[in-house]
């Protein structure tokens, strides 16, 4: 991707590098959920700030902690790097351990589906709104992969969401996503169809998350999103192919959302990394920070309009 002089400036000023402890206050937060378990997370607030927008991060598929990485088994600190860029422009943030991971209670395997994880996210927002040390005026939701879908599910039922960042979010039911993945992996010399089908049958039997994932159609959810949306998509993505972002943008626009920005990165895949899996692309952080700054700066009022009622 060509980076202009403006983007180069953003990369230097809005870096995802760590911030000194003097410039940020980190608070451990416990968020009770309607299901009974309690989620744990880190609330990061620029020093001296007592009210303003909060970015909340939503992890991709599988049991994930607040230290989310876009590469399995590699700690590339993706969410932490985006968070650091946002803190530098005065936007607080919250990263949390999903159910049954890290310091959070409950069982991921028994509880988690896209729907129940969206309920958890809504309960997290409720806790943050009532936090004694910081008044959250509105929220920016940043989700990777399935996290983008979960963020969208939460956004359509809340009037406190100022905007959404969807990184490689799926546009179709998981059955289509899986077919695309299987075809791509086979082209790359991966698993055979027989092996894939065996794994598929086992997951259908044991995994409630997987059963819903295969059938849940995201399009009606995206159709109800009224907030500004930034779509980021790697053109070399073999997990969620690039056309998914095009379809999401089309659904949003066809249903009246005129505040949609789609950026495709030609040399990036699902993880948005450079050649080194530890290096989450700083250009992605800069794009998010620039967009978030504009959204917060141009907000016409304190809160966005209420959720749209679906037609028919």
The winner for highest mean pLDDT among 13-22, 173-182, 186-195, 301-310 is 173-182
Instruction: Estimate to the nearest angstrom the gap between the alpha carbon of 70 and the chain centroid.
Output: 11
Alpha carbon distance 96, 137 (integer Å):
19
Q: What class, spelled out in words, does domain 8-172+217-297 have in CATH?
A: alpha beta
Rounded CA gap, 94 and 80, in Å?
10
Q: Convert the pLDDT of each residue in 59-100 to its tens digit.
A: 999 999 999 888 777 778 899 999 999 999 999 999 999 999
Least Cα distance to 305 among 259, 261, 251 occurs for 259
What is the reported pLDDT for 238? 87
Question: Distances from the Cα of 175 to the Cαs of 195, 222, 246, 269, 272, in angstroms?
Answer: 16, 18, 19, 20, 24
Distance separating alpha carbons of residues 29 and 54, to the nearest angstrom: 14
Rg, C-alpha atoms of the chain? 19
Check: CB of residue 168 under 8 Å from CB of residue 181. Answer: no
Q: Is the pLDDT of residue 266 over 50?
A: yes
User: Domain extents for the chain?
Assistant: 8-172+217-297
pTM: 0.87
Write out pLDDT tens, residues 146-174: 999 999 999 999 999 999 999 999 999 99
């Amino acid at each position: 991707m060509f980076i202009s002089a403006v983007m180069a400036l953003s990369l230097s000023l809005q870096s995802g590098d760590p911030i000194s402890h003097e410039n940020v206050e980190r608070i451990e937060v416990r968020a009770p959920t309607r299901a009974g378990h309690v989620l744990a997370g880190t609330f990061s607030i620029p020093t001296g700030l007592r009210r303003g927008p909060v970015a909340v991060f939503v992890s991709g598929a599988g049991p994930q902690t607040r230290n989310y990485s876009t590469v399995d088994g590699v700690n590339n600190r993706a969410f932490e790097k985006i968070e650091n860029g946002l803190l530098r422009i005065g936007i607080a943030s919250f990263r949390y351990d999903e159910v049954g991971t890290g310091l959070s209670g409950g069982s991921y395997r028994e509880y988690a589906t896209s729907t129940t994880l969206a309920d958890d996210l809504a309960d997290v927002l409720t806790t943050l709104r009532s936090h004694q040390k910081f008044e959250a005026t509105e929220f920016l939701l940043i989700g990777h992969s399935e996290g983008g879908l979960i963020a969208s599910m939460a956004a359509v039922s809340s009037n406190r969401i100022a905007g959404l960042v969807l990184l490689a979010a799926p546009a179709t039911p998981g059955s289509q996503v899986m077919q695309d993945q299987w075809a791509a992996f086979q082209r790359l010399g991966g698993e055979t169809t027989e092996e894939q089908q065996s794994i598929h049958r086992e997951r259908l039997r044991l995994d409630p998350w997987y059963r819903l994932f295969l059938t849940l159609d995201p399009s009606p959810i995206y159709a109800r999103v009224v907030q500004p949306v930034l779509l980021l998509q790697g053109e070399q993505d073999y997990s969620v192919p690039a056309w998914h972002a095009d379809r999401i943008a089309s659904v949003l626009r066809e249903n009246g959302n005129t505040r949609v920005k789609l950026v495709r990165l030609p040399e990036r895949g699902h993880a948005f990394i450079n050649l080194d899996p530890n290096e989450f692309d700083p250009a992605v952080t800069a794009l998010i920070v620039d967009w978030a700054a504009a959204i917060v700066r141009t907000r016409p009022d304190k809160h966005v309009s209420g959720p749209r009622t679906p037609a028919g």
